[in-house]
Amino acid sequence: MIPATWPSTADGREETALVRDAVRSLRLLIVPALFDEGNRLRRFTVEVMRRLGRAGIDTMLPDLPGTNESLPGLETQDTGIWREAMRAAARHFAATHVLGLRGGCLFTPDLPAFHYAPVKGAQILRGMLRARMLAGREAGLEENRDSLTETARREGIVLAGYPLGAALFRELETLEAGPAQIIAQDRIGGSGLWLRAEPDEDAAQADALAAILIEALEG
């Protein structure tokens, strides 16, 4: 597993990716889960990539602009930027297939796609708003979901430490994933790792997801 870069925009600005690439014929782009779920699933994602690599499948895990090592601020991003970035990553790495994880399913490019436990944009925002209200309550603040939502649509908002611009918030409210082969959590076994309090991994779950992907890609 090595770091790599790829041009995410027409002006050539580079973003980073983690890749396991031996220039093989099966090449899977992985669109990561969003925000804190992305952090919680990172180790799990890398373990799945290792298993796929041993099975002869190359994998690429790009950063969405404004996340991880990306230089542009998250508050400057919108869904159009993220969609085009994932299309650019797919072209650069010559991906043959794509896997979206949770909210990443909203941004999978036009390739044969697998969606692992897909979630709507509105569901992601509801969970983040709920977490902010709970944290505020513990700090003695009483915040209202409706007023927070209105502020977010107009000015942007910080949720769970992530500064979301108004455009990204508004667009996520109505965003749903496109057609794909769905891989539900009950096929993997156990509860989703994004539900845990800290980033974690589960060898049995990584084995299960990798096995499903290998069978589908090689079948």
Tokens of 31: 């669109």
**Residues 180/115, Cβ–Cβ less than 8 Å:** yes
Q: What is the DSSP secondary structure assignment for residue 118, as one 8-state letter?
A: -
Specify the pTM. Answer: 0.95
Q: What digits encode the pLDDT tens for the residues 24-52?
A: 999 999 999 999 999 999 999 999 999 99
Give exposure, 1-29, as e/b (b: 16+ Cβ within 10 Å): eeebebebeeeeeebbbbbbbeeeebbbb
Strands 97-101 vs 27-31: parallel, antiparallel or unpaired: parallel
* Structural domain 2-120+178-218, CATH architecture: 3-Layer(aba) Sandwich (3.40)
Q: How many beta carbons lie within 10 A of that of residue 50, not counting itself?
A: 15
The CATH 3.40.50.1820 portion of the chain extends over 2-120+178-218
pLDDT per residue over 163-214, tens digit each? 999 999 999 999 999 999 999 999 999 999 999 988 888 999 999 999 999 9
Residue 54: what residue type? Answer: R
